[in-house]
Amino acid sequence: MTELWQLTATDLAALIRAGKASARDAATAALKRLDAVNPAINAVVDHRPDDVLARADFIDAAIKRGNEVGPLAGVPITIKVNVDQAGFATTNGLRLQRDLIATSNNPVVDNLLKAGAVIVGRTNTPAFSYRWFTSNQLHGETKNPRDPALTPGGSSGGAGAAVAAGIGHIAHGTDIAGSVRYPAYACGVHGLRPTLGRIPAWNPSSPERPIGPQMGAVSGPLARSIGDLRLALAVMSARDPRDPWWVPAPLEGPKAAKRAAVCVAPDGLKVAPDIKAAVLDAAKRLERAGWVIEEVATPPLAEPSDYQTLLWLADNYDAQVAAAEREGDPAAINVLRNHRERAKAFDLAKFSTLLTRRATLVREWLAFFEKYAVLVMPVSGELPFANQQDMRDEKSFAEIWHAQMPQIGLPFLGLPGLVVSTGLVGRTPVGVQIASSRFREDLCLAAGEAIEAGGTPPSPIDPVTA
């Protein structure tokens, strides 16, 4: 018998709206699942069961009165601990922020609540949300439910681990250099980084972010089905006047020919054989679904990746270092130390040159997507890394950063990216990344659905502990 926590968000919401299950039933199932599996993976680091059940009862009462409760009627979800949720600490994985209690919600949280969601808990992130690994000195380490020897990804590692293990049906994450997409890849689920301006976001509890993170960071969903990502995107992207970057773009763009570009090794990236095989297999799945496939070389991606790294970590670098040293988190300090030379050389002239060059690069990519609806390429040059691999030595750190280039480049260009999990190598997940033009998440999702139809890893799963 299928348990409520195993259902897709789409199916569960339909059952609740039809009166065949209650929001309290779904919340109770989610809390029992959390109690059963979270001790092994430490994905959820803050939750209040009484509040969860009270919220579910509120949804049930509204349904009983005949009120519209929204597309996520009673669906349990999780929120990443780096965004404001009223009454909870916006820790961002920091002891420095353990008492930073939000008094109001981030717009993305408000949008999910307006859609009828029930927030079952808050998920872990590395200190400052800097890494593709998830551990910190406040909440501890999150384990990958498919293999504890692998990273769960980061920085939305708690989100990826939670949704893979059946804690919540949709997980909120944030992404500035792969932080939604990489946990989806590492945990064997799907994750969508939307176009900048698609989903409104802002933390009232915190100072305004520097321009680099403003231009690069977005909120996005992780889920076990492409259909649930489509549902999550629709509700998360509702207008909120507090975000000046938000754009009233339609969720469905003009009809486009089913023509997909495929690139196994963008910009000459060294790519592991299993990943090459996954990209080519995804292309075959699309072809079977009626897509025209063409193997191509992409416009520059390594260059945007380098620029995104500078905008993220070199902008306000000294203040970031000072904060990391106050926190005393070795992994956060390691990230900044390994970028010190380039960051210290980043001055106003280089900043101007970078932004000027951005216009040219974006123009090239937009022209590319005039010819192709989507691009299918690797998520990373490597299969998911061993946990804490970035802390081994400088060589390991540099190799990891290089392998992640296909993820890091898209935020600089302002383009959407979707990760679709397609299989397992042993018990290591593998998948592909789909990119498209600005505000064409619909095309990413259409291609993702065709690829998903060819098979995905079993999900949700009981965590593997050894």
∠ Cα 309 90 191 (to 5°): 55
Tokens of 239: 């207008």
Q: Which two tokens stand for residue 46?
A: 């803050």
Structure tokens at 100: 């930073």
d(CA 224, CA 165): 10
Residue of 80, 156, 219, 305 marked catalytic: 80
Tokens of 402: 């290089």
114 catalytically annotated: no
Neighbours of 133 (CB within 10 A): 26
Compute the distance between CA of residue 319 and CA of residue 6 in angstroms, rounded to an integer.
44
Out of 22, 129, 135, 179, pick the active-site residue: 179
DSSP 464: P
417 in Cβ contact with 433 (< 8 Å):
yes
Q: Which of 55, 29, 39, 20 is nearest to 168 (CA)?
A: 29
The verdict on whether 179 is a catalytic residue reads yes
What backbone phi and psi angles, to 5 degrees, belong to 190?
Answer: -110, 150
d(CA 275, CA 278): 5
Q: Which residues contact 425 (CB under 8 A, 6 or more apart)?
A: 274, 383
Task: Indicate the pairing of strand 170-175 with strand 44-46.
Answer: unpaired
Contact 142, 158 (CB under 8 A): yes
Rounded to 5 degrees, φ, ψ at 425 are -110, 100
Residues 197, 237 contacting (CB under 8 angstroms): no
3 state SS of 257: coil
Catalytically annotated residue among 155, 305, 380, 436: 155
Give catalytic status of residue 156 as yes or no. no
Rounded Cα gap, residues 192 and 226, in angstroms: 9
Catalytic residues: 80, 155, 179
